[in-house]
Amino acid sequence: MLLRLFLGVLPFVGSALSQAAAQYTDPDNGITFWGLTDVVHNVTYGYVFPPLATSGPNPNEYIAEIVAPLVNQWVGFALSGSMIDSLLVAAWPNNGKIVFTTRYATVYPGPVITTLPSTSINSTHWKWVFRCQNCTSWTGGSIDVSSANAVPAWCVSTIAVDNPADPGTSMVQHTDFGFYFFQFSLAHVTAAQYNNWAAGGTGGGSTTTITSSSTTTTAPPTATVSVDYIIVGSGPGGIITADRLSQAGKSVLLLERGGPSTGQTGGTYQPAWAKGTNLTKFDIPGLFESMFTDANDFWWCKDITVFAGCLVGGGTSINGALYWLPSDNDFSTSVGWPAAWTNHQPYTAALKARLPPTDAPSTDGKRYLEQTSVVVSQLLTNQGYRNVTINDSPNAKDHIYGSLHLFIGGKRGGPVATYLQTALARKNFQLKIYTEVLNVVRNGSQITGVKTNDTSVAGGIYPLNPNGRVILSAGSYGSARLLFRSGIGPTDMINLVAGDPVAGPNLPPSSQWINLPVGYNVSDNPSINLVFTHPSINSYDNWADVFTDPPQADAAQYLASQSGIFAQASPRLNFWEALGGSDGVTRWLQGTARPGAASVTTVYPYNATQMFTITLYLSAGIKSRGRLGINAALNALPLVNPWLVDPVDKAVLIQGLQNIVAGVALVPGMTMITPDNTTNIVDYVNNYDPSTMDSNHWIGSNIIGTAGKAVVDVNTKVFNTNNLFVVDASIIPSLPYGNPHGLLMSVAEQAAAKILALSGGP
């Protein structure tokens, strides 16, 4: 569908130019923009240009921002607004990120847009700050950046775009628009200022003022106290490693950039209906779906373009909590583990002892909202699947189904409720939150500490004891970026760091850069949703109001005893099927069924209270790999998507989808509504939006293996360093059968043992 733009309304130009652009400084990033706030909608538009050229053509870019109250579903502008043939730049918030598009009648691909770090979404506004390169001219039009009398246009819409996840979505016409005077000629700054901001830097001149919070009550740690181990990141990898190292008597400092999550960690963000309890959004499993629909989504890492949790517990504080004990195959040499790792059983047993899984998380032992399980089990039983207790036999993953495994006690639980608590009880362990590590400090191969944004310690540096070690557990994106910022990784990535005015000076000299395949080899499960209806289903209103206005009886039951529907996340049933590929490699299909649906596309009417989703993932055996990295603003992002690159991966996933679809007709009352019967499965997969194929199961960016091919060695030590380690999802060489954090927690148990056993340490 085409977007009808300003074209139809241009005759109004000049009729209401009451406003004019003026200069202002955005306090969040220190950028001096020229622009205006439209007085009706309170949307701010700001622009700043690099210096005018002294000869030849002017630079073709600018930095801009849109700051909009949440009621504005999408907002756009056309800098050439008073002319026919405008290029529209538009954006909207979606799931905590800004989605943007450039249109010239249809999607127009010329501009190169980089979202800058001061972009944010809070409870009242969304704000998009970005660099727009190749943006001042387009086929059919241009702007004159030296003009003293430009007349740009803005437009807002209170009607959401059709598919907010998709930059190419169809959009209804804006609900309001306007024009204003703008002297582009005034809105230029020096190259130094511009380049700093364009690279994500903040502030005006040479002195950057960092205001530290005056509300800090905890005593600042003294930089003179060095420790044996500094661990960066309190996700499952970091917490378990920290607990085991501190248990062995080592002094351990765990640094976490985010803040509290569950009530036990001091978290207080809770639904109004849980007021008066310690139960936060992060404690109550049934609030999982609301992670993606909450305007105040402070828990996402705003400088990573895919979902990642930046708070105590990392991903385990915001994920679906699906918990699968690893299988022997998940640790075999055939999937890339060194032989020394295949004996995983003692470590998996240690994990199971600390964190026993259950397939009935409600404290009363009952299962709730099981209609979806009943319908899907009928479909699967017809196809020869068996009903099993999945974690009782982790190695059996063909033609089986069962209930989800999660944590006990009807709460999120996980490593935060267990391993972190035992660590915190030791006086040789310290957790510091709201402390972001910027890079490791090193002299060649020897790491001496980490540099942080903590302004209360000298140089922001936390030092190591002489034989001390640093362990990166900042997640698949976070640890890769820390390596780049420490001069470790592919040269193209380190060069981006070198170009950053803040991070560049902290790099070691280029003679000390260490070239390793950081960011390559990444894998994530491609996942495809099929949506169905069945008369027996209760879609639970698609989980829409669980945070704000849940069914009263269910909320009351949960508060009283952590039982009932809220004691688990939305998924209900899980299954696996092994499928042979034409390349002779077996791949596994994992399916997860839940009441409700994220999106429906059908030409037929359907009953939304009866809908449910089966998500089909391709898991173990995947060959496709991608690459992750950073951009010039040092935001972390996928550089090469890892989904269905390998044609046999794609053929096998299509086969798995077709197997499921073939069974639908045999289940009375079951109807597939997405895709409906006007779209075949092959077309459905071919046209599937890649960004919604993401399963958030990223692994492999710091892959374990042999020198020359991998980033970390058999002891999880970064090659060509003496004392730098990585223990998080990024070292995992291949995706396991199931959602990966169960495997990762066993990996962390084993890594801690190997690090402790390695000579030369503290």
Ligand X SMILES: *[C@@H]1O[C@H](CO)[C@@H](O)[C@H](O)[C@H]1NC(C)=O
320 binds ligand FAD (CB under 6 A): yes
619 contacts ligand FAD (rule: CB under 6 A) = no
- Minimum CB separation from ligand X for residue 133, in Å? 7
With CB atoms as reference, the residue minimizing the distance to ligand X is 110
Min. distance of Cβ 730 from ligand FAD in angstroms?
Answer: 6
- The DSSP code sequence of 492-547 is HHHHHHHTSTTTGGGSPPGGG-B---TT-SBB---EEEEEEE-TT---GGGGTTTT
Interaction partner, residue 117 (ligand FAD, ligand X, none; CB < 5-8 Å by kind): none
Total binding residues toward ligand X, as defined by CB under 6 A: 46
Q: Does 610 bind ligand X (CB under 6 A)?
A: yes
- Between residue 12 and residue 71, which ones bind ligand X under the rule CB under 6 A? 28, 41-42, 67, 69
519 part of the interface to ligand X, by CB under 6 A: no
Q: Does 474 engage in binding with ligand FAD (CB under 6 A)?
A: yes
Q: Is the dihedral of CA 244, 247, 249, 253 positive or negative?
A: positive
Cα separation, 128 vs 91, whole angstroms: 8
Does 374 interact with ligand X (rule: CB under 6 A)? yes
Site mask for ligand X (CB under 6 A), range 571-600, x = bound: ------------------------------
Nearest to 445, CA basis, from 230, 213, 723: 723
Tell me the torsion sign for CA atoms 502, 505, 510, 515: negative
343 binds, among ligand X, ligand FAD, none (CB under 5 to 8 A by kind): none
Between 495 and 609, CB nearer to ligand X? 609
Distance, CA of 225 to CA of 438 (rounded, Å): 19
452: left (phi over 0), alpha (psi -120 to 50) or beta: beta
Residue 627 binds ligand FAD, judged by CB under 6 A = no
Residue from the set 310, 531, 555, 652 that interacts with ligand FAD by CB under 6 A? 310
Integer Cα distance of 15 and 6 in angstroms:
15
| Shortest reach from residue 248's CB to ligand X, in Å | 27
Q: Hey, CA dihedral for 93, 692, 414, 753, is it positive or negative? A: negative
* C-alpha–C-alpha distance, residues 716 and 515, integer Å: 17
Task: Write the CA distances from 665 to 382, 590, 605, integer angstroms.
Answer: 11, 21, 19
Buried b (16+ CB within 10 A) or exposed e, 510-541: eeebbebbbbbbbbbbbbbbbbbbbeebebbe
Binding partner of residue 96 among ligand X, ligand FAD, none, CB cut-off 5 to 8 Å per kind: none
Q: Is 233 in the site for ligand FAD (CB under 6 A)?
A: yes
**Residue labelled with tokens 């490593």:** 415
Residues of this chain, 695-724, that bind ligand X according to CB under 6 A: 703, 705, 709-710
- State the binding partner of 235 from ligand FAD, ligand X, none, CB within 5 to 8 A by kind: ligand FAD
Between CA 598 and CA 587 the distance in angstroms is 26
β partners of residue 588 = 578
Among 631, 696, 734, 746, binds ligand FAD (CB under 6 A): 696
Out of 236, 326, 629, 642, the residue judged to bind ligand FAD by CB under 6 A: 236
Would you say 350 or 404 has its CB closer to ligand X? 404
* DSSP letter, residue 222: P
Catalytic (active site) residue 697 = yes
Q: What are phi and psi of 671, to 5 degrees?
A: -130, 135
Decide the pairing of beta strands 252-255 and 62-69. unpaired
Per the document, the length of the chain is 762
How far, in Å, CA of 365 to CA of 363, rounded?
A: 5
Contact stretch for ligand X (CB under 6 A) within 133-141, 552-560, 630-638, 743-751? 133-141
Is 497 near ligand FAD (CB under 6 A)? Answer: no
- Nearer to ligand X by Cβ, of 245 and 558: the residue is 558
Out of 18, 23, 106, 123, the only residue in the binding site for ligand X (CB under 6 A) is 123
Parallel, antiparallel or unpaired: strands 125-133 and 62-69: antiparallel
Stretch that binds ligand FAD, among 153-161, 233-241, 355-363, 552-560 (CB under 6 A): 233-241
Segment contacting ligand X by CB under 6 A, of 179-187, 450-458, 616-624, 683-691? 450-458
Asked if 232 is part of the footprint of ligand FAD (rule: CB under 6 A), the reply reads: yes
What is the spatial distance between Cα 118 and Cα 639, in angstroms, rounded to a whole number?
21
Q: Which of 650, 649, 630, 629 is nearest to 521 (CA)?
A: 629
671 binds ligand X (CB under 6 A): yes
From the candidates 41, 125, 344, 697, which is the catalytic residue? 697
Phi, psi at 130, each rounded to 5°? -155, 160
Which positions from 73 through 112 interact with ligand X, judged by CB under 6 A? 110, 112
Local structure of residue 268 (DSSP, 8 states): -
As measured in angstroms, the least distance from the Cβ of 572 to ligand FAD is 13
Nearest distance in Å: CB 158, ligand X? 9
Active site residues: 697
Which residues contribute to the site for ligand FAD (CB under 6 A)? 232-238, 255-258, 307-310, 314-316, 318-322, 436-437, 473-475, 478, 482, 696-697, 728-729, 739-742, 744
Which residues contribute to the site for ligand X (CB under 6 A)? 28, 41-42, 67, 69, 110, 112, 122-125, 127, 134, 138-139, 210, 212, 257, 277-278, 336, 373-374, 377, 387, 434, 436, 443-444, 453-455, 517, 520-521, 535, 604, 607, 609-610, 671, 677, 703, 705, 709-710
